[in-house]
Amino acid sequence: LDRMEVIRLSGYDLQEKVKIAQDYLVPNSMREVGLWPPVDGKPGPAKDSESMEPAAEAGIARVEVETPTSVQEDQSKPALSLPKASIETSAVEALIRWYCREAGVRNLQKHIEKICRKLATKVVEHREGKDKEDENAKPADIAKPESGKTGQDGELVELHVTEAGLSDYVGKPLFTSDRLYEGQLPAGTVTGLAWTALGGSVLYIEATALPRPGAGGAGGAAKAGQPSLSVTGQLGNVMKESSQIALLVARRQVAVRLPADHAGFFEEHDLHMHCPEGATPKDGPSAGVTMTTALLSLALGRPARSDLAMTGEVSLNGKVLAIGGVKEKTIAARRAGCRALVFPQANQRDFEELPEYLRQGLEVHFAATYDDVFAAAFPEVSEAAPAP
């Protein structure tokens, strides 16, 4: 590797996956199962007026279903009329959001092929059912149709896939809501951002405190002067070290921002920090500011902004250090409904290089020190109290 250049590529975002599905995955899958005849014997999107492009502009990935002329049928049988097969754009977006969160599109292609096979099965079952009805029908019934019927096959099989009916084709969603908490967060809980193999995800940090027996009294003065923090959630060594640094930074912030009679909060309580989903191993150097904010939220008794998500490592002197995975973490924040973000100042250039549709509608704070993070998380407190 010392003689090679390593190029790291980020995964596709939602808009890119939808475009790939509309232009390639859906047309190819429809042709493979015979719902859309091949164009000049070549797979891929059609180049004529019957292609998907008009449907894509209308917001629907649509393909025409035509009966091949090469099929040898009895001329006496009425032609089987079929509707247009289509997959709504909202259904494709739901498929990406709740079923296929990988960086590429291979799993998305498998799900689309599965949908197309089930649509083709509907066509075959419908045709076989009409053939059996024609065989069992009496000649008089065929010659004299009932009032209101045309004598032709007027029944249409449903080939329109919507978001509401997506589970009928691919089963229950594999992923649920990204938000563990709906509405206001409790004090001591802050939303962080993490990079995973499937892209970005939100990472909640929960902190709680229990008063120590005798803390603040004569008999417990020595014990109260030794802050302790326990961490759970299958955290790696890097995150465990970050939690200890976060405690030191939080103690220094509390010593300045709280009155003297409340400045010993961490010394008078047993502290515990947890990252939910303990079965999933977690490690990385970008949770320092989130841990610090969770401890300060607990000490202040004030919840952080519910629509705020943050990422970044903090040093002993309160410097916020750069992180990676800005694009993936931004996508995760938008997916979780977080419209306010905190990134390190060193990552401002990385954020500005993102596409406009990813940056649109976001309130982004770039922090050089932890004081900038505090001002974004607790704006009413930062205005009332001086910074350390």
Name the active-site residue from 51, 243, 286, 297. Answer: 286
In the numeric block, which tokens belong to residue 61?
């990935």
Give the H or E element holding residue 204. strand 199-211
Q: Respond yes or no: is residue 329 known to be catalytic.
A: yes
- Token readout for 133 is 């009805």
Inter-CA distances, 307 with 178, 179, 187, 258, 342, Å: 13, 11, 14, 25, 11
Q: Closest by alpha carbon to 318, among 367, 271, 275, 365?
A: 367
Picking from 314, 342, 327, the residue whose alpha carbon sits closest to that of residue 190 is 342
Catalytic residue among 17, 29, 243, 329: 329
Cα distance between residue 292 and residue 278, in whole Å: 20
Two structure tokens written together for 114:
């599965």
Are 331 and 314 within 8 A, CB to CB?
A: no
Residue for token digits 């500011």?
A: 289
Helix (H, G, I), strand (E, B) or coil at 333: helix
- Kindly tell me the sign of the dihedral angle through the C-alpha atoms of 346, 349, 352, 353: negative
Count other C-beta atoms under 10 Å from residue 287's C-beta: 30
The DSSP output letter for 146 is P
Q: What value does the CA radius of gyration of the chain take, rounded to a whole number of Å? A: 30
- DSSP state, residue 331: H
Query: Hey, what amino acid is at 41?
Result: G
Name the residues annotated as catalytic.
286, 329
